[in-house]
Amino acid sequence: MTRSIDLFEAIDSQRAIRRFKSDPVPDELITRLLQAAIKAPSGGARQGWSFIVIRDQETKDKIGELYRSGDGFSITPDMTGQARRVYGAAQYLEDHMEEVPVFILACIEANDNGTFSAASIYPAVQNILLAARGMGLGSCLTTRQMRFEEEIKQMLDIPEGVATAALLPIGFPAEGVGYGPTRRKALEEVAFDGGWGKSWQHPT
C-alpha cells in the first residue's frame, strides 16, 4: 500500500524519473493519474485535451525505434556535471523506451496552423506528474515525440486537428532511483518584490 503524502511534500520531492522497474502499473493507479489530469484548468475552460494510455508492447517498440532514429543526447567535455547527469539519464530513457511499463500521451486540440495552447494542456500534465509522485510512481515530461508527430498520429489513429503535447513514461522507480529533494536556484535569485531585481525576502 502506497503511503499518501502531503501536496507540498510531493512538490518538494518531485523529480524526473527515467529508470523504471518492469513491474506493471495497476489500472486503478493509471485511472487516478487521468482523473488528476482532467481536474486541471484550461484556457476558456474548453477542456480540449485527450489522453492515450499506451501499454501494447508492439506500439512501445515502435515508439522506441522512432525516438532512437533522431539525434541522441550528445555529452560534450564542456558540460557541467549536472548537465552530464541529465543528458545521460535522458539518453538512457531513449535507449530503453520499450521497457517502460506504460506511457500516457497528452493530446490537445490544435489551432488551424497546427500549434496549440500550452496553457490548456501542461497544467494537466503537471497534475499527472504530481499525482504520480504522490502514489509512489515515477515519470518525467518528454516532448521529443513532436519530432515524429505524423508517425505517432498515424500509429495511434489520432485525428486531424489534434496535436501531441507530451509523452509521459509511467512506472515504479528502479532500484536505487529515488525522489528529491531537488536542487534549484535560491528563491532570492528568481523571485522579486515589487519589480525586477529586488529579491523577495522570505521569513526565516
Looking at the DSSP assignment, which residues form a beta bridge with residue 163? Answer: 108
Residue 7, Cα to own-chain centre: how many angstroms? 18
pLDDT (average), residues 194-204: 85
Hey, where are the domains in the chain? 7-176
Residue 36 scores a pLDDT above 60: yes
CA distances from 3 to 10, 26, 30, 174 (A): 12, 16, 17, 18
The predicted structure's pLDDT at residue 7: 87
The predicted structure's pLDDT at residue 69: 82
pLDDT one-digit tens code per residue, 127-172: 999 999 999 999 999 998 888 899 999 999 999 999 999 999 999 9
Superfamily covering domain 7-176:
NADH Oxidase (3.40.109.10)
- Of residues 177 and 56, which shows the higher confidence score? 56
pLDDT (average), residues 170-187: 87
Q: What single-letter amino acid sits at 12?
A: D
Cα separation, 181 vs 171, whole angstroms: 20
b/e sequence 84-109, b meaning 16+ C-beta within 10 Å: eebbebbbebbeebbbbbbbbbbbbb
Whether the CB-CB separation of 23 and 99 falls below 8 Å is answered with: no
The predicted structure's pLDDT at residue 164: 93
* Three-state DSSP state, 41: coil
- Of residues 113 and 126, which shows the higher confidence score? 126
Residue 2 scores a pLDDT above 60: no
